[in-house]
Amino acid sequence: MVRTHTVVAGETLPALALRYYADAELQRLIATASGIPDPDAVGVGQQLIIPDFARYTTRSGDTLSALAARFYDDPSLSALIAAASGITELEAVAGEQHLIIPELTRCTVLAGDTLSALAARFYGDVSFSPVIASVNGIADPDYIDAGTVLTIFVGRSDGFGLTIVDRNEDDPRMWYYRFQSQAMGWNPGVNVLLPDGYHTSGLNYPVLYLLHGGGVDQDFRTFDFLGIRELTAGKPIIVVMPDGGHAGWYSNPVASFVGPRNWETFHIAQLVPWIDANFRTFAEYEGRAVSGFSMGGFGALKYTAKYPGYFASVSAHSGPASLRRDFGLVVHWANLSSAAVELGGGTIYGAPFWNQARVTADNPVQRIDSYRNKRIFLVAGTSPSPINWFDSVNETQVLAGQREFRERLGDAGIPHEAYEPSGGHVFRPELFTVDLDGIIARLRPAAPV
């Protein structure tokens, strides 16, 4: 949800622009989004919109109307770019001119809509209805015709226990955020990959939460390195790729000696609602899927079992599905790896004695009923490298655990899709593509706001 502000005594637009954007010149952006004709005339109690934006440097042949068509699919909105950029002549742009492109969406008024209700939806406060009216040239805020297309300035703000401490929204599709959270002892990063056309479509989209594997070289950027932009090109879905720790196991650990590392709280209680509040999503079961590789595949299975109302589709690419088999080999590995690289000697499940209730709660093969009415997609390799101990132990355990899981799903009459390709513990883009098409088919399709 976009940031908002109510003016108090002594505040000016340049000072507020400096506070929110670290650039006093962006006072024009605030004025444009807030329907203020004179940036020097703001008073105590005035409601302001603090939208997000992109910077654009013009090239030879650019015009404001062409840029408005490119960014908003509507050349008539060129006046907003001009106002935010301090341009008085609408078509007077030259090469190498620096422009501010406000972030906005278009909303078509439906029968029964009111500006107060729309203000509550987009800004969290009915008192912002006069701002919407001013921006859109509506003389009577109490009356609006169905079918009217409104311009709504948007952006992302803090909330749900998350404070944005770093961000980059310059790329048309891949947006990056880093958060401060009391659930975590450091600031985890998140990549949000938007579908082509997100900025101009006015559609809501389903969301895939894509979880990376374990290892000191794994983090929220992992799938970008693996080509996620190309794999999702043209696909109508938002992909959220959060940090999960080098060995966080998508869990709140029993013990940590490096401060809080409550990954489960961060992902489920904080990040999911933050995404739904700040992007055009379907904030519902039918609008979400979760998938992951290796440790992330386990995280996907675990989150689906523990929070059965969150995800309509779950996928595990070489992710373990059974914690207690082979004398609890996966639990021992989770404890050992987390103690070594994540928790400063702490563990996920407790050592030398396990927290048995927590193991049971996290164990996919013991939570079979939680997977009913969901799409389930499983991948495990059948021929790990015999000379690579890590590859062999990992994928051998994954394959055996997934077969046990699949047997129990079958006994319960729960349909699932499974693949056993050759090879070992690796991410397989070709099967992710199959998975992604199945995810999109299962979830609610993109539709107008």
Active site residues: 294, 391, 425
Residue 181 pLDDT exceeds 80:
yes
| Mean of the per-residue pLDDT values of the chain | 93
- Say if CB 102 and CB 32 are below 8 A apart: yes
Query: 264, 172, 215: which is closest to 391 by C-alpha?
Result: 215
DSSP tally for the chain: helices H, then strands E: 16, 17
**CB proximity list for 175: less than 8 A, separation 6 or greater:** 167, 168, 169, 191, 192, 193, 194
Alpha carbons 367 and 252: distance in angstroms, whole number: 19
H or E element at residue 108:
strand 104-108
Alpha carbons 444 and 441: distance in angstroms, whole number: 8
The full 3-state SS of 151-198, as one line of letters, equals EEECCCCCECCEEEEEEECCCCCEEEEEEECCCECCCCEEEEECCCCH
Residue 320 pLDDT exceeds 90:
yes
pLDDT at residue number 141? 77
What's the pLDDT band for 105 if we cut at 50, 70, 90? confident
Q: Which amino acid is it at 233?
A: A
Taking residues 333-351, report their average pLDDT. 97
| Range from 13-22, 240-249, 428-437 carrying the lowest mean pLDDT | 13-22
Q: What pTM was estimated for this model as a whole? A: 0.88
Residue 40 pLDDT exceeds 90:
no
Alpha carbons 228 and 352: distance in angstroms, whole number: 40
Taking residues 132-160, report their average pLDDT. 90
pLDDT at residue number 91? 61
What's the pLDDT band for 90 if we cut at 50, 70, 90? low
Residue 404 pLDDT exceeds 90:
yes
DSSP secondary structure code for residue 261 in this structure? B
What's the pLDDT band for 266 if we cut at 50, 70, 90? very high
- Say if CB 77 and CB 99 are below 8 A apart: no
Taking residues 402-425, report their average pLDDT. 97
Residue 57 pLDDT exceeds 90:
no
Structure tokens at 204: 């809501």
Q: How many CB atoms lie within 10 A of CB 174?
A: 18
What's the pLDDT band for 92 if we cut at 50, 70, 90? low
Query: 36, 9, 13: which is closest to 26 by C-alpha?
Result: 13
Higher-confidence residue of 247 and 59: namely 247
In the beta sheet, which residues pair with residue 261? 184
What are the strands, taking DSSP E only, across 243-310? 288-293
- Say if CB 365 and CB 401 are below 8 A apart: yes
pLDDT at residue number 321? 98
pLDDT at residue number 388? 83
- Say if CB 239 and CB 279 are below 8 A apart: no
Omega prior to 429 cis, within 30 of 0? no
pLDDT at residue number 242? 98
pLDDT at residue number 194? 97
- The string of pLDDT tens digits covering residues 268-305 is 999 999 999 999 999 999 999 999 999 999 999 999 99
DSSP secondary structure code for residue 368 in this structure? G
